[in-house]
Amino acid sequence: MKKYSLAQRTLRLAVCGVISFLCFPNAAKSATITVTTNLDTVANDGQVTLREAITAINSGSDQSDVNVNRTGTYGVSDTILFNISGSGVHTLQPASALPSLASPVTVDGTSQPGFSGSPLIEIDGSGAGANVDGLHLTAGATTVKGLVINRFSNRGILIDTAGGNVVAGNFIGTDATGASTLDNAHAGIYIDDAADNLIGGAVGVSPGGPCTGDCNLISGNDEDGVHIAGSGSTGNRVQGNFIGTDVTGNLALANGSDEDGLQISYGTDNLIGGTTPQERNVISGNNSEGIFLAGLGTSRNIIQGNFIGTNAAGNAAIPNQFEGVVMQQASDNIIGGSVPGAGNVISGNGDFGISIVVDGATGNVVQGNFIGTQADGVSPLGNFASGVLITAEAPNDNAIGGMVPGDGNVIAFNGGDGISLRFDNANDFSTGNAILGNSIYSNGGLGIDLGAPGVTPNDDGDGDTGPNHLQNFPVLTSAVSANGEVTLMGNLNSTPSSGFRVEFFANDACDDSGNGEGQDFLGSVDLTTDASGNGDISASFNVLLSGASFITATATNLSTLDTSEFSSCLSATILVEDCANAEDDDGDGAVDCSDPDCISNAACVSAPAAPSALSGSGCSLAAKTADGGSMSLFLASALAALGICRVLRRRETKSA
C-alpha cells in the first residue's frame, strides 16, 4: 500500500476541503427562520413575517431583519417555524400572493407553541387578490405541515415544476376547527406534472377516529379536493386523508359544486390509499364523484384500502353525490386488490358504486372490495344504483373479481343490479368483461344483468350480440348435498368447440326473477363444448350446505372472457342422516348413530348402543373365528343370524 508523508496527507485534506466547498457550497447547511407575527409587512421592525421568511429562503440571504430570528446558514434544507405570541389560532392575511416556495424548505405550523394536534396557524387568502394560490411549491423536496389554508381565489396548494414534496397535517378549505367550510375557489391541492409527492401519510393517523397526525382535512373547496394532472404526475401517494368530510369523519363538508373528491387526469402509477388502516383515505360527502379517473393515458393507478361514501368508521353513509369511483377512458387501473387490506369499502354513494365508461376504459381490475356493505363486509350500506356499471361506447376487457382467492368482491345491498352491463345502441357495447369469484347478493335487480334490464334468455348456439356477447348461462339439472359434499349436474349450450369456466354459487334465497344471484362461491369447473356447442356439467365440492340452499351458476368464455348472467336457481336436495330411523338416509353406507353425521346427536351421545343381532352371540367387531383369526363384521352378522357363532363359542369352551 502506498504511504503518504504528513505534508502530503495535509495537502490532500486541504484540496478535498476546497473541492467540497466549491462543488457543494450548501452541503450540510440549513437555516431556521422563526415567524413571530401574523402581519404581512416587509420592514425592519424587529418582527419576522411569513412573507419575509419565504423571500429570505428563496434568495438565500436575509431580508429586512430576518437575521434577528434566524439560526444556521442558508442551504438546501431550510426550515420556517412559528412562535407568534398569544394563545389560540393565529390568522395570517396576505395582502397579495405569497412568494412561491422556490427553494426546498419545511414550513412547520406544528411548531407554534400550544399546538396539540389541531393547526394553530391559519393563512386566510380572502384579501390576497384574484387568481391567487395559497402556497405554490416549485422547488421540490418541500414539506408543508400543520397549517390551515382557506379562502384563496384559486387553489389552496399548487405543486408543479418539481416533485418529492410532502403535504401533511393541514386543514385545506375549512376553518381551524375543521367543522365549517371556508372554501378555496378551486382545488384544495393541485399537482400539475409533478412526481413522487406525498399528500398525507401514516404517522399519528387514527383509523376510525378523527383526522389527526399526518391526515390532511381537504374539504369545502369549490372544485376537486385533490387533483393530480398531467402525464408527468407519476408516483404520487395520497394516504391517510379526509376528503369531503369534517374533522370527525362523521359529517359532510363537500368539495366541489360539481367536482370530485379526488381526480386523476392523465397521471400514471399513482397510489391512492394503501393496505394499512393508517394509509386509508376517507373520501366521502363530495358533490360529484368520490374518485374520478379521467382520460386516455390515465393508467396504472392503484386505489386501495379506502372508505368511499362512508364515515371514518365505515359503518354509516356520507354519500358522494354520484358514483363512488368512475373510470372514464382510463385503462389498466386497479381498484382494490387480493392482498389483505387492499380492498376498498365503496358504499352509501348517491349513484353507482363503480362506473367504467367510454371507449378506452379497458384492462381495469376491480378486486377484493366491499361494494354496498359496511366495513365488516356483511351489514347493509348499499349504493343507490347498481354496485358496478359498465356502459357507454364500449369499454372492454375489464375484470370484476378473479380466479385467485381474495380476488372476489362482495357486491350486495345495492339499489340496482349487482353488476350492470348496458349499451347505448345495438352496435356499441362492451365485451370481454370477466366477472369471477365474487359474492353477489341482496341487490335490488339481477346479480348480473347484460343488455336490457331483466333476464336475457339463452339462444341456441349463442350467436346473439350485446354486452359480453350476451353469453348464455348454464342450465342446472341436479344439486345434491350429502356428507359435506355437494354434487352438481347440468349443461351449457354456447359457442361450439370453445372452453368455458363454469362457476357455482349457493344462495339463501332465489332472486324474484327466478334467476339467481351468487352469494357464496362454491367452486368452478372447466369444460369444452362440442361441435354443436353443447357441454355437460358435472362437479363436486367439499361444502356443507344446511337449510334452504339455491344453487346458481355462471359461464365465462375462456377465449373472449365474456361472463354470463346467473342461471336459474335450483333448489338443492340436502341429504342428512336421520340418526333414529334405521335407514341410510344420506347414502354413505352408515346407519343412524354409526354415521359420522350423528356423532354429536344427543340421542347417540347419551343413549347406550342398541342391542343387535351380535349381542351375546360371540360375534362382535372383535370376534374371532374358531382358529383365532379375525372375523369381519359382515361375516359375524351372517353367522349370528344362523346361530353359528354360539356353536363356535360352545366348541371353544368345551375344548378348553
Separation of alpha carbons 527 and 505, rounded Å: 17
327, 399 Cβ separation under 8 angstroms: no
* Cβ-Cβ contacts under 8 Å for 438 (sequence gap 6 or more): 400, 401, 408, 409, 410, 411, 418, 518, 521
* Cβ-Cβ contacts under 8 Å for 1 (sequence gap 6 or more): none
With a cut of 60, say whether residue 643 has pLDDT above it.
Answer: no
Distances (CA, A) of 66 to 62, 206, 305, 570: 6, 38, 45, 81
Give residue-wise pLDDT tens across range 475-530: 999 999 988 899 999 999 999 999 999 999 999 999 999 998 999 999 999 999 99
Angle (nearest 5°) at CA 478 between 476 and 479? 100
Give residue-wise pLDDT tens across range 110-141: 999 999 999 999 999 999 999 999 999 999 99
Q: At what angle do helices 644-655 and 633-642 cross, to 10 degrees?
A: 90
pLDDT at 28: 54
Give residue-wise pLDDT tens across range 539-580: 999 998 877 799 999 999 999 999 999 999 999 998 887 888
Residue range 246-250: mean pLDDT, rounded: 98
pLDDT at 628: 38
Give residue-wise pLDDT tens across range 579-637: 888 887 777 778 888 888 788 888 787 654 444 433 343 333 333 333 334 333 333 34
Q: How many C-beta atoms surround the C-beta of residue 565 within 10 A? A: 30
Cα 188 to the center of its chain, rounded Å? 24
The pTM score is 0.86
pLDDT at 426: 64
pLDDT at 5: 55
Residue range 235-258: mean pLDDT, rounded: 96
Give residue-wise pLDDT tens across range 439-488: 999 999 999 999 999 999 999 999 999 999 999 999 999 999 988 899 99
pLDDT at 599: 81
Three-state DSSP class for residue 474: coil
With a cut of 90, say whether residue 156 has pLDDT above it.
Answer: yes
pLDDT at 604: 86
Helix (H) or strand (E) segment spanning residue 149? strand 147-150
With a cut of 50, say whether residue 93 has pLDDT above it.
Answer: yes
Q: What phi and psi values does residue 179 have, to the nearest 5 degrees?
A: -110, -15
Helix (H) or strand (E) segment spanning residue 570? strand 570-571
With a cut of 60, say whether residue 655 has pLDDT above it.
Answer: no
pLDDT at 13: 39
Cα 199 to the center of its chain, rounded Å? 18
Separation of alpha carbons 604 and 613, rounded Å: 19
pLDDT at 505: 97
Domain extents in the chain: 473-575, 578-610, 616-656
CATH of domain 473-575: 2.60.40.3580
**Rounded percentage of the chain residues whose pLDDT exceeds 90:** 75
Nearest to 504 by CA among 536, 538, 528, 533: 538
pLDDT at 414: 98
Give residue-wise pLDDT tens across range 13-29: 344 444 443 344 445 57
